Copies of this chain bind each other. A is one copy, B any other.
Amino acid sequence: MADVAARAGVSRALVSIVFRNQPGASQETRDRVLQVADEIGYRPDSAARLLARGRSRALGVLFTVHQTFHADLVEGIYAQAEHHGYDVLLSATAQGRSEAKAVEALLSHRCEAVILLGADATTADLDVLGQRTVAVSVSRRMPGSLIDFVHSAEGKGVRQAMDHLVGEGHRRIVHIDGGRGPGSAERRRAYRAAMRRHGLEAEIRVIPGNHTEESGIEAGRLLVAERDAGEPLPTAVLAANDRCAMGLMMALARSGVEVPKEVSVIGYDDSHLSHLMPVGLTTVRQDAGLMAEHAVGFAVRRLENKTLEPQEAVIDPKLVIRDTSGPPREV
């Protein structure tokens, strides 16, 4: 910076003004400074800038590498953050990299806010985080939590899916749940309620699972094993999410069970891949773009106006009927 200032024949302060696009420099000086900077390859150091300015204008995003729906969200967050003039810092959880570690990384880089995509932490953990910084949780419901929260109306989504299945004539509808995953508790509850509402209380069955393909595969194996032992297959399965649904379909296909002929499958998320599968997956669409917009909006509003109450946005999901659901065989 000093070099640029010297070569352009101005003070460092003026170079700073030029690079921050602030008033206080004539157009010709601006041009000269920028040209000199370009010549010697100068670029402002964001660490020093951050340090001096006292704020980073950066939003930290915690996501999971293999969670395809997170990719959709991240894409939306980039766009929204840019719109609000914020930087985005990504930190991923992965095998061998815990959520806590990923969050630490974000905080040590002085993110002003942290957006958690489907966090795995407890409410207490999040509240602690919320004390330390501005935090927004996407998907994972945090009852009574202090932090902001964006989620889809899980109940509505599940209800639409269940109404669709029952409307097609299904009765033996099984739910693979998402364990401690975000939104799972609500979906589980909505599944039970819908079954009851349709007079199918006796058929309620929840198979424990999570949000990975593996859990779908396991559930599929379980169901096939039961069939081989003489029990009837369910006629429809509501999976924890799209990935789980994919795993399930793989397991079923391997055992020669046809979808949707013998078993209908419904996913959740409408992640980027779900409409690109060999067979279009019937699923509940969560609008990633809209969720990203709210998440970033919440974070920004908190940052500009410290004294806000916890905010919450509920996005209406929408059932997308594709090829993996249809009437049951028996009907």
Contact = CB atoms under 8 A, between A and B. Distances in A.
A165 to B, nearest CB: 20
Given A48-B51, A96-B78, A41 B246 contact: no
Nearest to A217: B276
Nearest to A245: B278
Contacts of A305: none
A91 interface: yes
Contacts of A107: 43
A94 interface: yes
Contacts of A277: 246, 250, 277-278
A47, A66, A90 pick with most chain B CB within 10 angstroms: A47
A226 interface: no
A74 interface: yes
A273 interface: yes
Interface in A246-282: 246-247, 249-250, 252-253, 259, 272-273, 276-280
Contacts of A110: 45-47
Given A41-B132, A46-B110, A253-B279, A94 B65 contact: no
Nearest to A74: B65
A213 interface: yes
Interface size range of chain A in the complex: 35 or more
A94 B109 contact: no
A243 to B, nearest CB: 8
Given A51-B51, A96-B78, A96-B79, A272 B66 contact: yes
Contact of A105 (B65, B87, B94, B279): B87
B65 A246 contact: no
A108 interface: yes
Contact of A109 (B46, B243, B259): B46
A276 to B, nearest CB: 4
Contacts of A79: 94-97
B94 A74 contact: yes
A56 interface: yes
Contacts of A273: 213, 246, 273
Contact of A78 (B51, B56, B68, B97): B97
A134 B229 CA distance: 60
Contact of A276 (B97, B108, B247): B247
A3 interface: no
Interface in A24-63: 41, 43-48, 50-51, 56
Contact of A95 (B75, B213, B249): B75
Given A272-B66, A277-B246, A277-B278, A51 B41 contact: no
Nearest to A91: B90
A71 interface: yes
A136 interface: no
Contacts of A44: 108
List the 9 closest A-B pairs by CB distance, nearest first.
A90-B90, A213-B276, A65-B71, A75-B94, A253-B278, A249-B278, A47-B47, A47-B50, A46-B108
